[in-house]
Amino acid sequence: MPVEERKRVIEKIRHGGWTTPTSGVLPGYAQANLVVLDKAFAFEFLLYCQRNPKSCPVLDVTDPGIAVPALAGKDADIRSDIPKYHIYRSGEHVETTENMEHLWTDTSVAFLLGCSFTFEEALIQNGIAIRHNEENCNVPMFKTNIDTVPAGLFSGPMVVSMRPMKRADAIRAVQVTSRFPDVHGAPVHIGDPSEIGIINITQPDYGDAVTLKEGEIPVFWACGVTPQAAAKANKLDMITHAPGHMFLTDIKNETLGVL
Amino acid sequence: MPVEERKRVIEKIRHGGWTTPTSGVLPGYAQANLVVLDKAFAFEFLLYCQRNPKSCPVLDVTDPGIAVPALAGKDADIRSDIPKYHIYRSGEHVETTENMEHLWTDTSVAFLLGCSFTFEEALIQNGIAIRHNEENCNVPMFKTNIDTVPAGLFSGPMVVSMRPMKRADAIRAVQVTSRFPDVHGAPVHIGDPSEIGIINITQPDYGDAVTLKEGEIPVFWACGVTPQAAAKANKLDMITHAPGHMFLTDIKNETLGVL
């Protein structure tokens, strides 16, 4: 990534000139889910992440009141550099904004969690096409009957993202994504959606439906939208990214591979 | 591991009948480093672990005041089930005890961090002998000039453990230990000790010296004693295990492999 290209995109997002999804932007670099909480809840949430590493792989945590993510983007401001934010109050999604400076306080802590865009790039490099890219829409995401491991106020269902593929590709996808535990790692389920409580594969809870072709099976990965389900389940205040509208880190995807 | 064997060993440790190092005990199961802090410092320490995952890979964190590590040993009591504890007051190691029930409070939080005994087993299975096992002593550990990434009150030098081996074995050791990020993962340094600030390889800061044979190089891994160096550097109160005297988890080593 030329530094100028990153600067150009970040500037555009910061000043409201970019409000669409970030899929495919700055290829080769990791993108991240956002969760902002008051520091009073920061320990419990970090513990929730530690207990649920597949859903909530932590890339960076800011110091209270500091809006610069030192490990994931020294040049960025977490309050303005995401195209769209979701504001949750008492678990309800009450607002979508392009900036959240007015809600950020001296006690705000921002958590950046790894995003599946990183492993999608690795899948594509392994010859496995990504259906929602082909169909030019958001990845389909579903609430499941898999309970996350609670920590303090945080609990609720695991949210998963789904990608359809041939059985042989599913095996390769397990291998490829196992290399990347910091961006959700290996799938959590392969095949029959009903086993993890998904009734209708054509009606995702978040994102868009995609085509499941003859001879394909759905493959499910833990998803960084899981904290938003925890906010809802426990009536919490939280600021997050809008699904698909991610934070652009300066971390190279390949450096997240464990082997 | 037969459940009875585990029960027998844990009971013995709990009642003061076992006060020696735990290397080689309950083979196939992970052992863990201990750090106990007041909950007022729990977030900063968990963040320190997140920022320094090679030194401080978190296996479990107890809820405040709860002495049972639910994820790492449901049958255990963290206050009594380690052969020896080190007590740090204002950064000084003031006491070694076989039990720390008298120091545990309603606001105590215990952190269990992965231990190199897990990857040593994998190295042995790959035909790489472990010198300190051959010489029947503790692994040599050194303070380095590598700074950990600070978080709140926690900062200081990375502590490393050292294993001598042939160059070809060092390459295999990188591959083998990369599979186990939750127990320190790949080495942090290979060869010339002076490059990471180690002046005399025959005088470890913790543990015992081992023989470095002709044709061998020292290989260095991040070590779970790093928090004890952080306690010293920042004059903190902390309860830890005594080096080599670990907590016996019920987590199978192999389940910690990422691939």
Query: Inter-chain contact B178–A258, Cβ cutoff 8 Å?
Result: yes
Domains contained in chain A, number = 2
**Are residues B125 and B107 both part of a single domain?**
no
Tell me, what's the pLDDT at A1? 57
Tell me which chain A residue has its CA closest to the CA of residue B71. A51
With a cut of 60, say whether residue B1 has pLDDT above it: no
Cβ contacts of B45 within 8 Å, gap of 6 or more = B35, B37, B111, B151, B152, B154, B227
Residues B209-238: tens digit of each pLDDT? 999 999 999 999 999 999 999 999 999 999
Query: Inter-chain contact A259–B42, Cβ cutoff 8 Å?
Result: no
Question: Cα(A19)–Cα(A21) distance, rounded to whole angstroms?
Answer: 7
Size of interface A-B (CB pairs under 8 A): 46
Asked whether B59 and B30 are in contact (CB, 8 A), the reply is yes
With a cut of 70, say whether residue B88 has pLDDT above it: yes
| Residue at A258 is within a domain | no
**Are residues A23 and A100 both part of a single domain?**
yes
Bridge-based pairing of strands B189-190 and B216-222 is antiparallel
Residues B123-149: tens digit of each pLDDT? 999 999 999 999 999 999 999 999 999
**Are residues B139 and B210 both part of a single domain?**
yes
List the domain range (segments joined by +) for residue B248: 3-114+235-256
Mean pLDDT of chain B: 95
Tell me, what's the pLDDT at B96? 97
Q: For each of chain A's 259 residues, which pLDDT tens digit applies?
A: 568 899 999 999 999 999 998 988 999 999 999 999 999 999 999 999 999 999 999 999 999 999 999 999 999 999 999 999 999 999 999 999 999 999 999 999 999 999 999 999 999 999 999 999 999 999 999 999 999 999 999 999 999 999 999 999 999 999 999 999 999 999 999 999 999 999 999 999 999 999 999 999 999 999 999 999 999 999 999 999 999 999 999 999 999 998 8
**Are residues A56 and A37 both part of a single domain?**
yes
| Residue at A259 is within a domain | no
- State the CATH number of the domain containing residue A56: 3.40.1640.10
Chain B residues within 8 A of A37 when measuring between CB atoms: none
Q: Among the residues of B117-166, which ranges form H helices?
A: 117-125, 131-134
The secondary structure of residue A149, as a DSSP letter, is P
Length of chain A: 259
Residue B228, both tokens: 């004890």
| Residue at A80 is within a domain | yes
Cβ contacts of A213 within 8 Å, gap of 6 or more = A164
With a cut of 80, say whether residue B163 has pLDDT above it: yes
**Are residues A71 and A84 both part of a single domain?**
yes
**Are residues B75 and B160 both part of a single domain?**
no
Q: Among the residues of chain A, which ranges form H helices?
A: 3-14, 42-51, 117-125, 131-134, 167-178, 226-234
Give the three-state DSSP class for A213. Answer: coil
**Are residues B32 and B88 both part of a single domain?**
yes
Query: Inter-chain contact B181–A181, Cβ cutoff 8 Å?
Result: yes
Question: Cα(A161)–Cα(A204) distance, rounded to whole angstroms?
Answer: 9
**Are residues A110 and A238 both part of a single domain?**
yes
Query: Inter-chain contact B179–A259, Cβ cutoff 8 Å?
Result: yes
- State the CATH number of the domain containing residue A194: 3.30.2040.10
**Are residues B71 and B163 both part of a single domain?**
no
Sign of CA dihedral B197, B203, B205, B211: positive
Q: Can you give the C-alpha Rg of chain A in angstroms?
A: 17
Pick from A87, A197, A208, A207: nearest CA to A143: A197
| Residue at A7 is within a domain | yes
**Are residues B110 and B7 both part of a single domain?**
yes
Q: Is A71 on the interface with B (CB under 8 A)?
A: yes
- In this prediction, residues B162-191 reach a mean pLDDT of 95
Cross-strand pairs, A96: A86
Chain B residues within 8 A of A149 when measuring between CB atoms: 71
Q: Is B46 on the interface with A (CB under 8 A)?
A: yes
Question: Cα(A116)–Cα(A144) distance, rounded to whole angstroms?
Answer: 18
**Are residues A178 and A246 both part of a single domain?**
no
CA distance A145 to chain B (A): 21
Question: Cα(A81)–Cα(A255) distance, rounded to whole angstroms?
Answer: 23
Q: Strands of A167-246 (E only): list them.
A: 189-190, 216-222, 238-241
Output helix, strand, coil percentages for chain B, rounded to the nearest 5: 25, 25, 45
**Are residues A126 and A188 both part of a single domain?**
yes
Tell me which chain B residue has its CA closest to the CA of residue A112. B50
Chain A residues within 8 A of B175 when measuring between CB atoms: 259
